[in-house]
Each structure stands twice: as structure tokens, then as C-alpha cells.
């Protein structure tokens, strides 16, 4: 079964919009796990508009499944990750003012930079996943820099899904095939939801993990968090 990692960034955004400690991220993470999530993801950005750096260490102490920290590997981020030592670090090429992740690494152009970063993380026993577009050459580049996994950027797939899902999935099939052949684990994320998740999962047969945040909090407004997580788990069976 493909693992579901719940990204709790948007709960932090709600908290920050009002100040104070509601909702309580520690309780949110505990409840996500209690309701069946197999991982917790956070993505601290430079401006700390949702997850704050001060949130990360307390979350690591209570997460009992798998803790995944996403982000751009600048000096501050790397110092924090190397100290906290999550199970997985997903590296994304986000600019400081970027609203959301909307492209993957150019693993060939950034080869020297990524090789150094990946090596430092792996020295601490941290599994490294690179956020990449569904392109075979970017997957091969991820292998060259020493990554353990890739996270396929599924934004374009989600945009095209309702127009022609067979065409939308095709680049991901090719990229996943290459990744499997060269020994890279396969994660996926961005705009996966209850409409498109089952098709994506059933198509990418070696999919190990999906990271979902925005869609889960949107669905939880209507269904509640427990029911929502159960719905997503059902789609991944």
C-alpha cells in the first residue's frame, strides 16, 4: 500500500492568521496518525508564513510514524534538518517568495550543489528525496547526485486530469519506469486529491508515498479530519 503523509502546513497557516496556538499542531499531528496517516510532512519556508522553524523540533519528538521535512536547502534549513534528523528530507527548488512549489529541480544543472547537499544529509542517516518534474533526464540526474528517492511533481497531471487523464499520466509512467529501473524510490505530490488520487496510484505501480496537504484540509472542512484521512487511505488501497 502506498503510504499517506499528511502535510500540516495549512493548519499552521490558520493558526498564524489569528495568532495564539489554535489549532494546536502537536495535536493535529497526533490525530492524523491516530486516524491512519503513515507520515507527517512539514515544509518550513524562509518567511515562516505557515510552519515555523520553532514548530519542527517539537513535532519530531511526538511523530511516531515517519517525519518528512521539505524545503529549499539554504544554510538555515540545512542546520535545522541536520540537527532534527527526520526520517526523510525532501529537497525542493523554491524561491524565497514562492507561493507554492511549482517545478522540480534541474538535477543536471544543479548536480554539484545537490551532490554536496544530499551527501551531508545521508551522513546523518536521513533519506533524501528530490522534487522533480516527470522527465526521464531529471530522474537520471537525481540518481547521479545520490538521491534515495524522487518526488514526482504532480501539478501538471492534476491540471490536465479532467481533460485527458491518459495523456496526463503518460510522462509520469515514463519517469517512474526509469526510476524503478535505476533503483530510485518513487514519491509523488502536489494537487493530488480525491478525484485523481486513485487513478494516479493505480497507474504508478511502484509508488511508495504521497504527500498531501491542501486538498486534505479542504476536504476536512466538509467531512472532518478523521473521515477525510480514511477517504484518502481508501483511494490508496
**Positions marked catalytic:** 43, 70, 190
Q: Coil, strand or helix: which one is 211? A: strand
**Tens of pLDDT along 61-101?**
999 999 999 999 999 999 999 999 999 999 999 766 655 66
- Non-local (6+) Cβ contacts of 225 within 8 A are 28, 31, 32, 35, 216
Please say whether the structural domain 3-236 has been given the CATH code 3.20.20.70.
Answer: yes
> In whole angstroms, what is the distance from residue 59 CA to residue 85 CA?
12
Please name which of 35, 14, 17, 34 lies closest in space to residue 25, comparing C-alpha atoms: 14
How many Å apart are CA 141 and CA 47, to the nearest integer? 30
Look at the pTM and tell me if it is higher than 0.75: yes
Check: CB of residue 125 under 8 Å from CB of residue 84: no
Phi, psi for residue 45 in degrees, rounded to 5: -100, 165
Q: Where are the domains of the chain?
A: 3-236
The two counts, helices (H) then strands (E), for the chain are 11, 8
Average pLDDT along the chain, 237 residues, taken 10 residues at a time: 96 94 97 98 94 97 98 97 98 73 88 98 98 98 98 97 97 98 98 98 97 97 98 97
pLDDT of residue 94: 79
pLDDT value at position 97?
62
Amino acid at each position: 500500500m502506498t503510504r499517506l503523509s499528511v502535510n500540516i502546513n495549512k493548519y499552521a497557516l490558520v493558526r498564524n492568521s489569528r495568532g495564539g496556538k489554535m489549532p494546536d499542531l502537536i495535536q493535529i499531528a497526533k490525530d492524523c496518525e491516530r486516524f491512519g496517516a503513515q507520515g507527517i510532512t512539514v515544509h518550513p519556508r524562509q518567511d515562516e508564513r505557515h510552519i515555523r522553524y520553532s514548530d519542527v523540533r517539537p513535532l519530531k519528538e511526538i511523530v511516531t510514524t515517519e517525519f518528512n521535512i521539505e524545503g529549499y536547502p539554504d544554510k538555515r534549513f540545512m542546520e535545522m534538518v541536520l540537527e532534527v534528523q527526520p526520517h526523510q528530507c525532501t529537497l525542493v527548488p523554491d524561491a524565497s517568495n514562492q507561493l507554492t512549489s511549482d517545478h522540480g529541480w534541474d538535477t543536471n544543472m544543479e548536480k554539484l550543489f545537490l551532490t554536496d547537499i544530499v551527501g551531508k544529509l545521508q551522513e546523518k542517516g536521513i533519506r533524501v528525496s528530490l522534487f522533480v518534474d516527470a522527465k526521464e533526464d531529471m530522474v537520471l540526474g537525481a540518481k547521479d547526485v545520490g538521491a534515495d528517492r524522487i518526488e514526482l511533481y504532480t501539478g501538471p497531471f492534476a491540471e490536465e486530469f479532467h481533460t485527458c487523464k491518459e495523456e496526463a499520466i503518460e510522462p509520469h509512467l515514463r519517469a517512474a519506469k526509469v526510476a524503478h529501473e535505476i533503483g530510485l524510490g518513487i514519491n509523488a505530490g502536489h494537487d493530488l486529491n480525491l478525484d485523481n488520487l486513485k487513478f494516479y496510484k493505480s497507474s504508478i505501480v511502484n509508488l511508495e508515498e504521497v504527500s498531501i496537504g491542501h486538498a486534505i484540509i479542504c476536504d476536512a472542512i466538509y467531512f472532518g479530519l478523521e473521515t477525510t484521512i480514511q477517504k484518502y487511505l481508501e483511494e490508496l488501497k
